[in-house]
């Protein structure tokens, strides 16, 4: 829960470079990524702590839930912005790479934290 509380420290007003195209500044991209990542890690660690399963299931399910949390946040953002995403940078590839990294990183962090906690 502490991890999730820290997510709110990073939430700031989204700063636009171009409001008409919803192009946001890199600082806002970083703030959103940190917030999404910390929220996903909190969900993954919480679910890992309440599961009574053994073996890989106790690690795989929290990692999957961490990724699903970020995807859910992106879906919420998509609908809140009238079926579009914030844009940042001029490269669609870079935007996709950043979004994929934000989805994958929390799962890796949850995996490592749970793995070493049970070692």
> Whole domain around residue 53: which residue ranges?
2-6+19-118
Tell me the whole-structure pTM to 2 decimals: 0.82
Instruction: Identify the band that residue 106 occupies on the pLDDT scale cut at 50, 70 and 90.
Output: very high
Residue 50 lies in a domain: yes
Residue 81 lies in a domain: yes
- Give per-residue pLDDT as tens, 49-97: 888 777 777 889 999 999 999 999 889 888 887 887 777 777 788 888 8
- How high does pLDDT run on average in the chain? 82
3-state secondary structure the chain: CHHHHHHHHHCCCCCEEECCCCEECHHHHHHHHHHHHHHHHHHHHHHHHHCCCCCCHHHHHHHHHHHHHHHHHHHHHHHHCCCCCCECCCCHHHHHHHHHHHHHHHHHHHHHHHHHHHC
Residue 11 lies in a domain: no
Q: Residues 5-11: what's their mean pLDDT? A: 61
């Amino acid at each position: 829960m502490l991890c999730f509380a820290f997510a709110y420290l990073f939430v700031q007003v989204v700063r636009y470079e171009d409001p008409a195209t919803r192009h946001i500044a890199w600082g806002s991209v970083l703030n959103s990524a940190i917030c999404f990542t910390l929220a996903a890690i909190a969900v993954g660690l919480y679910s890992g702590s309440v599961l009574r399963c053994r073996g890989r299931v106790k690690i795989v399910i929290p990692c999957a839930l961490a990724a699903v949390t970020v995807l859910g946040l992106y879906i919420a953002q998509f609908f809140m912005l009238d079926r579009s995403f914030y844009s940042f940078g001029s490269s669609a590839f870079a935007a996709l790479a950043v979004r994929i990294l934000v989805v994958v990183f929390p799962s890796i962090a949850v995996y490592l934290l749970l793995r070493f906690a049970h070692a």
